[in-house]
Chains A and B, each alone.
Chain A
């Protein structure tokens, strides 16, 4: 009990110092846009063609960062598979899913996949993009894992999709290096803003990321379910 009180006091003091520092030095909402942020907001559409500025930052201006992030996710998925590979399966009495749940998920599953596809195709126009879309797709698979007893996606197919999408991402980057002398440069025509076929390579990259994140998250869920 004493330990908890001391811990609470120390942590509370830390929070107080942090809050007062922030509140004095960074007044909320009064910082004007300047530097790279102003450049992205003013010139983003004419340079990259995407109306969603966050998307063009994530995939093009800071594309290298996103490639690293995808690599981290890949490492986590691989490490999880490695850690859980030797786990022995426990014989547990699993409750039978009800009829309502089984039927609903069977009809809902394609719609969830369709919604995920919509999100990653429209990533450069609306909020969303490859990462949320991948998570939505994985949610559909998670629903199926819970509700259907026999449902089991092919592990080979999952890792093949993942590796193929990862390789394709690097190839898109190298294409920019070959054609425009800059890694992940926007080499495709920009088109008219606010249409689906615009913004050069952003939709292509987000489709690749959608497939990659979707298969990785599904793989993680499948591993966690089996162990």
Chain B
């Protein structure tokens, strides 16, 4: 199995599963978890773009002869940002879910009549 199928395939699989859970789930926390799966898959995809064949992590040490080539450090720095944003998003989402549960007494979106028009 080549790396492209493994990494691209698994990240696309995670994204697809995330969207599927988010659009078919009935429970609010399930929907949030779907969005988070999408987030994780996207992060994995961005890191996979930066891979260079035979490359090591972009951290140098006292022995520079080991480092023939390194992977692209830019996607890793971007994904660090994206992970933190994901945590912030999950925290806000969970707070809103707790508020909905307190106000309406349910987390099931089929029973939240106030959302319908």
Q: What residues make up the interface of A, taking CB atoms closer than 8 Å to B?
A: 3-4, 7-8, 11-12, 14-15, 18-19, 22-23, 26-33, 36-37, 40-41, 45, 51-54, 57-58, 62, 65-66, 69, 72-73, 75-77, 79-80, 83-84, 87-88, 125-127, 131, 193-194, 213, 217, 220, 223-224, 227
Contact = CB atoms under 8 A, between A and B. Distances in A.
Given A32-B52, A57-B74, A87 B99 contact: yes
17 contacts: A15-B12, A18-B12, A19-B12, A22-B12, A33-B72, A40-B73, A51-B60, A53-B58, A54-B59, A57-B77, A62-B77, A69-B81, A76-B88, A80-B95, A83-B99, A224-B95, A227-B98
Interface residues of B, number: 52
B31 to A, nearest CB: 13
A28 B91 contact: no
Contacts of B58: 40-41, 52-54
A77 B48 CA distance: 31
A65 B84 CA distance: 12
Nearest to B64: A45
Given A57-B74, A69-B84, A11 B92 contact: no
B73 A53 contact: yes
Nearest to A40: B73
A80 B91 contact: yes
Contacts, number: 143
B61 to A, nearest CB: 7
